Copies of this chain bind each other. A is one copy, B any other.
């Protein structure tokens, strides 16, 4: 039984707590949140106890799940590693690449297993596409097209510190692109964007509608499009073209009902509006893989270095958007 400390009892933290409680090999032991009543709610629902310091939270557990606000991630990872705890940390590691680079050695030296929570790598459809590529099913990979459209903007306060759409939202797609490219790293990024949904974003130099094209070392071309608005639900898809065919990861569905009526035929219901619902299975599989890793049965699918590289791509896209120039990416 793997005992978990949970940092952060917000929306994502609650979801992780539920998954820990439901996992046969895991239990929720300590829960920490700067807002203690939030932690207390999680404990009431999923067990464990509320703790009031980081040190106390790290006591008596095998692993930590970090779902607190982004600026706390690095310090919590370092403290957890120092205490010898396995780490599952929400994305991004940090918005500041210097801080990410700074913690690298200490974390690597600690030897604790670390997994970054890029949920999309665990989505059954994306994973099926990845596995088919790696198995050679479509031959040489030539194009990757990723679509991610969220159902609405986060509140102004969140947007203000989010780091902008490329670092806050598209970072998922950068990681997914790297997952699909399977080691063939992106060398160049060009980004455009515009404000189409909410003019508030102009205050922060941010955009709500964004597109990127990238080229990998081997010459595979990648396109990502993002929008903060999708009235039909959370739209997150992938398409890859290779010398022997195309694969798509289309929308999974909670049921298979199809409608024919006076308005439409072959109509299905809306997509889930929350990413938590959209990636429900992915979050379960992600946690399970982490637990297998803690038990020494698996190596992690998403490493600290993966988190760092996704941020490098997001930074490159942000710079490209601002300078209106393509940006070469260095992973050093």
CB within 8 Å of B: which residues of A?
21-22, 24, 124-125, 127-129, 132, 137-138, 140, 142-143, 145, 147, 149, 188, 190, 192-197, 209-215, 219-223, 225, 227, 229-233, 235, 241, 243-271, 324-326
Determine the distance from Cα of A252 to Cα of B257 in the docked complex, in whole angstroms: 9
Most central of A24, A192, A247 by chain B CB within 10 Å: A192
- Chosen A-B contacts, 9 in total, with CB atoms closer than 8 Å, are A22-B24, A125-B255, A190-B213, A194-B215, A196-B219, A231-B244, A263-B267, A263-B270, A264-B267
Distance A4 CA – B209 CA, assembled complex (angstroms): 48
Return the contact of A221 from the options B125, B192, B269 (Cβ within 8 A): B192
Contact A230 B241, beta carbon cutoff 8 Å: yes
With a cutoff of 8 Å between Cβ atoms, the chain B residues found around residue A125 in the complex are: 255-257
Q: Is the CB of A250 within 8 A of B256?
A: yes
- Known A241-B227, A243-B229, A246-B260; judge A265-B265 contact (CB<8 A): no
Copies of the polypeptide in the assembly:
4
Q: A137-B261, A140-B196 are in contact. List 10 more A-B contacts (CB 8 A).
A: A21-B24, A145-B147, A190-B190, A209-B219, A230-B241, A232-B265, A246-B260, A248-B258, A263-B267, A266-B267
Asked if A249 and B245 make an inter-chain contact with CB atoms under 8 angstroms apart, the answer reads: no
CA distance A223 to B223 in the complex (A): 8
* Residues on B with beta carbons closer than 8 Å to the beta carbon of A190: 190, 192, 213, 326
> Is B255 a contact of A124 with CB atoms below 8 Å?
yes
Bound CA–CA A265/B221 (angstroms): 23
A233 to B265, Cβ gap below 8 A?
Answer: yes
Given contacts A190-B192, A219-B196, A245-B231, contact A209 B265 (CB under 8 A): no
CA distance in complex: A223, B212 (Å): 9
Q: Check if A257 sits within 8 Å of B247, measured CB to CB.
A: yes
Residues on B with C-beta less than 8 A from A128 are 255, 257
- Chain B: CB-nearest residue to A129: B257
Smallest CB-CB separation from A328: which chain B residue? B324
Task: Report which residue of A213, A243, A244 has the largest number of chain B beta carbons within 10 angstroms of its beta carbon.
Answer: A213
A304–B209 alpha-carbon span in the complex (Å): 32
Complex A-B, nearest 3 residue pairs according to Cβ-Cβ distance, in ascending order: A194-B219, A245-B261, A264-B267
Q: Across the interface, do A223 and B225 meet the contact criterion of CB distance under 8 Å?
A: yes
Q: Which residues of B contact A127 (CB under 8 A)?
A: 255
A211 touches B209 (CB 8 A): no
Whether A256 and B263, one on each chain, are in contact in the complex, defined by CB atoms closer than 8 angstroms, is: no
Known: A265-B269, A268-B266, A270-B265. A260 touches B243 (CB 8 A): no
B253–A252 CB distance below 8 A: yes
Task: Give bound CA distance, A165 to B229, whole Å.
Answer: 33
Q: Is the CB of B266 within 8 A of A266?
A: yes
Whether the Cβ atoms of B264 and A270 lie closer than 8 Å is yes
CA gap between A268 and B132 in the complex, in Å: 13
CB proximity of A161 to chain B, nearest CB, Å: 25
Chain B residues within 8 Å of A245, by CB: 231-232, 259-262
**CA A243 to CA B197, docked complex, whole Å:** 8
